[in-house]
Structure 1
Amino acid sequence: MKPNGIPPELLEKYLSGECTDAEKELVEAWYASLQGEPRYLDHLPDAEQDELRHETFGNIRRELNLTEERPVRRLPWHWLAGIAASILVTLGIFLAGNLKTMRLPEVTVKGQKSDPPKALPVTTFENTGKQIVRHRLPDGSVVSMHPKSTIKYRTAFADNKRFVMFSGEGFFDVKKDKTRPFNIASGDMVIRVLGTSFNVKAIESQKKFQVDVVTGSVQVTAAGKAFDRQEVVLKPQQQALFELDSKKLTYKTLPPQTRKELYEPVTIVFEETPLSKVIEQLEKRFNVSIALTNPGLARCGLTANFESQAFPAILEILCTSLEVTYTISDNNITINGEPCE
């Protein structure tokens, strides 16, 4: 089922650069929803993708014969989609609505006086390992990325907005900057914050994206199947869910839980505590399962004072202290190493 069409006047505003941020998101989401081969644009540079996009919209506008003097008509989706499809076939352009083809905002730097501004390159970081990796962004914000997670961004953020594209699971600790909102795009879901900490789980194979807020507040928006704008504002201990198939965005307040999620901080102290007891405490506090590859590790002792620390930080310090390593898959952790002397 395709979303309803956008009003022609909104398309006209987009082409003339008069859209608000919210209207721009809706038009570009509609643009991404048209059927086609999703791999075609992956091979084009950003500049060519942008040129094709505006050429396509220009042809649609000319086909609709939109002018400022004509009264605006609201057109049914099936008719507008038919025109758009015929233009796309003529041009040989195929569009996709996924993270790979979403275009990052342009950020330019000036060289010498005679040099034209140059667009900053895109940084792509993927956690290909089996541990949680802390990745620092250009503004000092940090994202703790689970295995198989990917983030894309310009090497410097714009003066008025910070924007990244993210897939997988990661915990964002966003540096406060009231003049530059922080935006995260995950498929059809957009998260907007000023400065806060929250967990994003955007794994397409699971058919559901999830946002959990720990501190501050975040705004989550998404376009529904009827192309309506959906929006929720989350506070701490609240969760948003976006279902990929139904395009439905919901939220709920989470009840108090005995066991914390990996990203939620706790305070816990160990005094020469055997690793076997440490594991028992961590499994009791967090929603995790921990196994040892070598049973002799259970006798190793740990002394540490963790104050308001999340599980990844605790695990990293534990492994460093005991000179062991770990691997993680979902909430299952395996600790590897030699027994203590």
Structure 2
Amino acid sequence: MKPNGIPPALLEKYLSGECTDAEKEVVEAWYASLQGEPRYLDHLPDAEQDEIRQGTFGNIRQELGMVEERPLRRLQLHWLAGIAASVLIAVGVFLVGNLKSVQLPEMTIKGQRTDPSKALPVTTFKNTGKQIVRHKLPDGSVVTMHPNAIIEYHTAFATNKRFVIFSGEGFFDVTKDKTRPFNIKSGEMIIRVLGTSFNVKAIESQKKFQVDVVTGSVQVTAAGKSFDRQEVVLKPQQQALFELDSKKLTSKTLPPQTKKEIYEPVTIVFEETPLNQVIEQLEKRFNVSISLANPGLARCGLTANLESQAFPSILEMLCTSLEVTYTISGNNITINGEPCE
């Protein structure tokens, strides 16, 4: 099913920065749906194609100071259609020098919009390793990122909102700030919070995005196939699922589980406990599978009193204490190191 068109007037409104928040969501959801559709114009009615092209070319001529009555040369129609498609798919960047407003909103300082040419730089961080890493954001919030997870944000957050783009899997522990809601964009899914902790799994290849709340409350919104607004509000032990193909957003309350997910905290004590027994206890507590690259590691002993700690923190402490390392793939962990005497 091809995405429905949207009024050219709404596109112009978006490009000029006059859209409401709701209108911005519609345009950005439409833009996201065009990925992989460079010839999207071909699917629109002829009248709508002409209207979009005329409006687009008019804006380009105006910005470049071109006089329509004195064209330098006549372009072939099929070439013009190619330009229009490229311009529309790039929503917000066809004017030379503009910020990528589809990716990151413009910064504001003391309620005033900044000069795009002096906009704050953007930070992009990707976990390229094979371990889970903690990444601190400008407001003190922390995201614990799995391998291949990517986060993008302005190097300093605005005074009225916090906004990041995230893909992959990660656990967010958001610093509470009632004056600045925290917004996460993962594909066509938007997550809004004030201060809470939750896990986001937004891996494109899995065709389903997932949000699991541990503390606080989270609002998840997404546009449906007809660009209707879908919204769910999650409390602890609740989950939202957004299916990429059907564009369907649902939520449910999770039943009590025997094993916890790796981002859920537990309290556990080890007293000179051999590593093989430590692994047995962790596998009983968490939904993980742990193996030793060197069987001799099983004799290593661990002493630790851990209170309300999630699995990544426990694993980090274990590796530091025993001077070993680990790699993770999904819920499978391999511990590497030299055997103990």
Deviation at 1:17, TM superposition (A): 4.4
Change in Cα spacing, 1:15 to 1:135, as seen in structure 2 (3 Å) is closer
- Partner SS for 1:321: helix
- Does residue 281 of structure 1 match 2:275? no
Root-mean-square deviation (CA, aligned residues, Å) is: 2.9
Deviations 1:210-261 (A, max 9, x none): 0000000111111111111111011000001111111111111000001000
- Does residue 173 of structure 1 match 2:173? yes
Task: For 1:18-33, list aligned pairs within 5 A.
Answer: 18-33=18-33
Preserved contact between residue 32 and residue 188 of structure 2 (Cα < 8 Å): no
- Does residue 95 of structure 1 match 2:71? no
Deviations 1:49-108 (A, max 9, x none): xxxxxxx79926979xxxxxxxxxxxxxxxxxxxxx9866447526169xx994211226
**For residue 324 of structure 2, what is the aligned residue in structure 1?**
324
What letter corresponds to residue 307 of structure 1 in structure 2?
E
Give identity over the alignment, percent: 82
**TM-score between both structures, scaled by the size of structure 1:** 0.79
The count of residues paired between Structure 1 and Structure 2 equals 297
Deviation at 1:20, TM superposition (A): 3.0
Task: For 1:282-301, list aligned pairs within 5 A.
Answer: 282-301=282-301
- Partner SS for 1:314: helix
Give me the whole-angstrom Cα distance separating, in 1, the residues matched to 2:172 and 2:35: 33
Change in Cα spacing, 1:194 to 1:61, as seen in structure 2 (3 Å) is farther
**For residue 248 of structure 2, what is the aligned residue in structure 1?**
248
Change in Cα spacing, 1:162 to 1:61, as seen in structure 2 (3 Å) is farther
Preserved contact between residue 270 and residue 278 of structure 1 (Cα < 8 Å): yes
Give me the whole-angstrom Cα distance separating, in 1, the residues matched to 2:250 and 2:53: 32
Give me the whole-angstrom Cα distance separating, in 1, the residues matched to 2:195 and 2:53: 36
**For residue 335 of structure 1, what is the aligned residue in structure 2?**
335
Deviation at 1:145, TM superposition (A): 0.3
Give me the whole-angstrom Cα distance separating, in 1, the residues matched to 2:329 and 2:169: 12
Task: For 1:124-143, list aligned pairs within 5 A.
Answer: 124-143=124-143
Preserved contact between residue 109 and residue 159 of structure 2 (Cα < 8 Å): no
Give unpaired runs (5+ residues) of structure 1.
39-55, 64-84
- Partner SS for 1:93: helix
**TM-score between both structures, scaled by the size of structure 2:** 0.79
What letter corresponds to residue 312 of structure 1 in structure 2?
P
**For residue 59 of structure 1, what is the aligned residue in structure 2?**
55
- Does residue 211 of structure 1 match 2:207? no
Give me the whole-angstrom Cα distance separating, in 1, the residues matched to 2:232 and 2:116: 41
Preserved contact between residue 32 and residue 96 of structure 1 (Cα < 8 Å): no
Give unpaired runs (5+ residues) of structure 2.
39-51, 60-78, 92-99
Preserved contact between residue 108 and residue 159 of structure 2 (Cα < 8 Å): no
What letter corresponds to residue 222 of structure 1 in structure 2?
A
Give me the whole-angstrom Cα distance separating, in 2, the residues matched to 1:4 and 1:32: 13
What letter corresponds to residue 339 of structure 1 in structure 2?
P
Deviation at 1:123, TM superposition (A): 0.6
- Does residue 305 of structure 1 match 2:305? yes
- Partner SS for 2:276: helix
Give me the whole-angstrom Cα distance separating, in 1, the residues matched to 2:224 and 2:286: 34
Change in Cα spacing, 1:96 to 1:186, as seen in structure 2 (3 Å) is farther
